[in-house]
Amino acid sequence: MHHPLGGTSKKASKKLPTLLLTVAAAATAALLLAACGGSSNSSTPTPAAKQTSAPTQAAGATTAAATSPCPPADAAKGLTGAGASFPFPLYSKWVDQFNKQCGIQINYQSVGSGAGISQITAKTVDFGASDGIMTDDQVAAAVAAGGPILHIPMTSGAVAIIANLPNLQQGQLKLTPDVLAGIYLKSITKWNDPAIVSLNPGLSLPSTDITVVHRSDSSGTTFIFTNYLSKVSSDWQTKVGNATAVQWPGDVGGEKNDGVAQQVKQIQGAIGYVELAYAIQNNLNWASMQNKAGNYVQPTLDSTTAASTGVTIPNDTRIMITDSTNPNAYPIVGFTWILAYVNQPDKAKGEALVYYLWWSIHAGQQYSTALLYAPLSPDTVKKAEAEIKSITYQGQPLLQLPQ
């Protein structure tokens, strides 16, 4: 964790506790799912209502039930994982459903992508999770610890730009890449700055100071966000750059997506970035972002899916899909990956892991849309399938699908 420069550093006033997901916590998972659709004291429509035109299941998973068998009887009955908070609402649903179907309990700790990379490298968990691509140095460390490591795509999601401004509806505030970069570089410091006013002629913007909120922990959401800013702003790329943790020009740090959402909610004039489900959960307003084609687009399921449409996915799936050229795409979108070793040290755990991963990219995809994540495209599913099939124990493939 680090502190911003040139401003008063604050931590989220209330840390999100580590969440361990087991079948015994089914009630908690159910409450989380309800919250993601709009909290009990919120008038925000549910995600499903907002996305009525979206598909209900991934195109590559039309035979999900038939292609997602349970592990063999000798597989381990429990797994541990840790990492990204970005996909946490979806992962909580998955582990609950997989446990109901196959009797495998998975404890997933939502501790941030940086911690997920550290823990899989240290081999203290059975799998890691990250929204940021591992650096060459991180890959080298992981290879030294356990051999080749995979980035297996699970879903994609949008990073919403949220703001605490009075009398605004969701998507009403318009921002361009240059203005967003200027705000986070602290060269634009007031909401009535001419650069913002000129984009929003119909809005009455206050003279309030802009309080910039960012992640204080190492974060895949930060990786996606700073990857976008590095693509659209040469100043940002030079002065700050792209990583899971950067030296922020200012102002306030929040831990995990929830911490950023809470800071924005509490501070008038604040701006921040969070995974879309957290914006829905906290009833926060998000901005419409100008994309590469010049269109102003809100973060929705359809605009998230558009970001990866027409993109060539490499075999190792290590690709950032920010700043998409698709005219319908929301520009701040990224994949999130499970990190797993090719060579599994424990056969029983390795079996449980590969069948869970296979289930996730097939049967699990049907749960994505209700939680505002984009199901994997058919091409991405094929790449993920090949990666999962490459996982072995003592040189023998662990996934044995019915013929």
Q: What digits encode the pLDDT tens for the residues 334-347?
A: 999 999 999 999 99
Which pLDDT score is estimated for 74? 96
> 95: closest CA among 277, 364, 298?
364
Q: Is residue 312 part of a domain?
A: no
**115 and 218 inside one domain:** no
Q: Do 229 and 122 share a domain, yes or no?
A: no
pLDDT in tens, 357-395: 999 999 999 999 998 899 998 889 999 999 999 999 999
149 with 174, same domain?
no
Burial class (CB in 10 A: 0-12, 13-18, 19+), 80: middle
Residues 95 and 31 in one domain: yes
Token pair in block for residue 229: 């800013």
Q: Please state, in angstroms and rounded to a whole number, the distance separating the CA atoms of residues 132 and 150.
A: 13
DSSP string, 328-353: T--SSEEEEEEEEESB-S-HHHHHHH
pLDDT at 80: 98
Number of domains within the chain: 2
- Over residues 11-31, the mean pLDDT reads 37
Give yes or no: residues 174 and 142 share one domain.
Answer: no
Same-domain check for residues 211 and 275: yes
Residues 367 and 229 in one domain: no
- Cα separation, 334 vs 225, in Å, equals 9
- In this structure, are 198 and 301 located in the same domain? yes
Phi/psi of residue 232, nearest 5 degrees? -100, -10
* Count of H-run helices and E-run strands, the chain: 15, 14
Q: Judge if 116 and 185 occupy the same domain.
A: no
Assign residue 136 the CATH number of its domain. Answer: 3.40.190.10
On whether residue 320 sits in a domain, the answer given is no
Q: Does 34 have pLDDT greater than 70?
A: no
In 12-87, where does DSSP find H-type helix? 26-36, 47-50, 64-67
pTM greater than the 0.85 cutoff: no
In a domain, 42, yes or no: yes
Confidence of residue 33 (pLDDT cuts 50, 70, 90): very low
Based on the fold, state whether residues 107 and 172 are members of the same structural domain: no
CA distances from 374 to 123, 152, 283, 371 (A): 30, 15, 21, 9
pLDDT score for 232: 98
Query: What's CA 179's distance to the chain center, in Å?
Result: 23
Output the pLDDT for position 72.
Answer: 96
Q: Is residue 12 part of a domain?
A: no
Amino acid at residue number 37? G
Q: Over the chain, what is the mean pLDDT?
A: 85
**Residue 376 zone, left/alpha/beta (φ > 0; ψ -120 to 50; rest):** beta
Stretch (H or E) spanning 121:
helix 113-122
Q: Radius of gyration of the chain from Cα atoms?
A: 20
Note whether 109 and 140 are same-domain residues: yes
Burial of 15 (0-12, 13-18, 19+ CB in 10 A): middle
* Residue 369 structural domain: 23-157+334-397
Greater pLDDT, 219 or 2: 219
Q: Is residue 324 in some structural domain?
A: no
C-alpha torsion angle, residues 168, 172, 175, 180 (rounded to 10): 40
Are 172 and 79 contained in the same domain? no
